[in-house]
Amino acid sequence: MARFVVMEPADALAGDAAAQARIVRDGFSLFGFIFPPFWLLWHGLLIEAVVTFAAMFGIAVATELLGLGLAGSLVSLLLSVFVGLEGSALRLAALRRRGWREWGVLEADSLADAEARYAVEVFGDADADDAAPVIAPAARPQAARPSKGPALGLFSYPGRS
């Protein structure tokens, strides 16, 4: 399961905040790794994209002028790995600078599941009143049986009493 951070605008009302909320996946971004400046621009991080492009350009120039070869390529790769790993943190920091507040963290398989879980948390489950109660069989209390044989940790060997 992936983790998703839910951000809400601080100046909106409760219902409007839920409608305007942004859900950001917290984790590695493959497109952020492959195309760092373009991924940052796509997510509205203009300053970060300009800094990344300038750093990539500076690394390329330094590699050519100083003849760094493999070392220059590795530094460029490290920059791409940084954007891939920290891209979501950069997005969250940009939202915080714009006055958004963190609502919470959700665990879900996909963005659609995270949106559904967020909607249930904020608006409640409309089908909860109509749903039939879950009936589970009553558990029979069992007397604790001391183990007479060797045991591993807290569990004894099954079938021995």
Q: Each residue of 1-53: pLDDT tens digit?
A: 889 999 988 876 666 777 788 889 988 999 999 999 999 999 999 999 999 99
Q: Is 79 exposed, middle or buried (0-12, 13-18, 19+ CB in 10 A)?
A: middle
Question: pLDDT tens, 45-80?
Answer: 999 999 999 999 999 999 999 888 888 889 999 999
| The model's pTM | 0.68
Domain boundaries, the chain: 2-126
Burial label, 3 (beta-carbon count in 10 A; 0-12, 13-18, 19+)? middle
